[in-house]
């Protein structure tokens, strides 16, 4: 029986298989797309657009995290929704703050300042924090994939 990593990495070269952790493997499927964008191009992207990308990357990561062990679609949905809610993202951001570098803190600040219009049910601070972590994820996805995987591993998503 193959491990989760082996199944995900089928078809990759042997050196890559040995060097990737599960978290890295989760994001490896789309990383080559991000490598086509230069740093100067990334710096021109608005924090709102980075948050848009970060939201998608984060949701794919969470969905893949909960993919195994196999479950009913309703269970997947419940687990994923619990993690991608603004309130949970705000908690994740607060847990990451001590681990962030100065440049990453600046991206978080830019994301917070870009957070405008919010759902009525949310406290504005929670919405700003959720937008901030999404901005950071989008930025790191495009600029420092390895660092993104390090930070995602810190989040300690919970299996049920």
Per-residue pLDDT of the chain (160 residues; tens, 9 = 90+): 555 445 544 544 444 444 445 556 656 655 556 667 788 888 889 999 999 999 999 999 998 888 888 888 899 899 999 999 999 999 999 999 999 999 999 999 999 988 777 677 788 899 999 999 999 999 999 999 889 989 998 987 776 5
Q: Does the domain at residues 39-154 carry the CATH identifier 1.10.1520.10?
A: yes
* pLDDT score, position 42: 87
List, by residue number, the catalytic residues: 55
Q: Give the span between the Cα atoms of 133 and 26, in whole angstroms.
A: 19
CB 91 within 8 A of CB 70: no
pTM, two decimal places? 0.78
Nearest-angstrom CA–CA distance, 9 and 100: 29
CA–CA separation, 156 vs 109, rounded Å? 23
């Amino acid at each position: 029986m193959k491990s989760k990593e082996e199944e995900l990495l089928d078809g990759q070269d042997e050196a890559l298989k040995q060097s990737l952790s599960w978290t890295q493997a989760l994001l490896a499927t789309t990383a080559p797309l991000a490598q086509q964008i230069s740093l100067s191009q990334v710096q021109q992207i608005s924090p709102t657009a980075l948050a848009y990308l970060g939201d998608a990357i984060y949701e794919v990561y969470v969905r893949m995290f909960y993919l195994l062990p196999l479950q009913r679609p309703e269970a997947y949905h419940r687990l994923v929704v619990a993690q991608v809610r603004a309130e949970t993202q705000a908690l994740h951001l607060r847990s990451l703050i001590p681990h962030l570098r100065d440049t990453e803190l600046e991206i978080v600040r830019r994301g917070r300042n870009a957070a405008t219009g919010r759902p009525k049910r949310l406290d504005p601070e929670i919405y700003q924090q959720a937008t901030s972590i999404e901005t950071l994820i989008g930025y790191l996805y495009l600029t420092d994939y390895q660092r993104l995987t390090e930070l995602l591993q810190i989040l300690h998503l919970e299996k049920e």
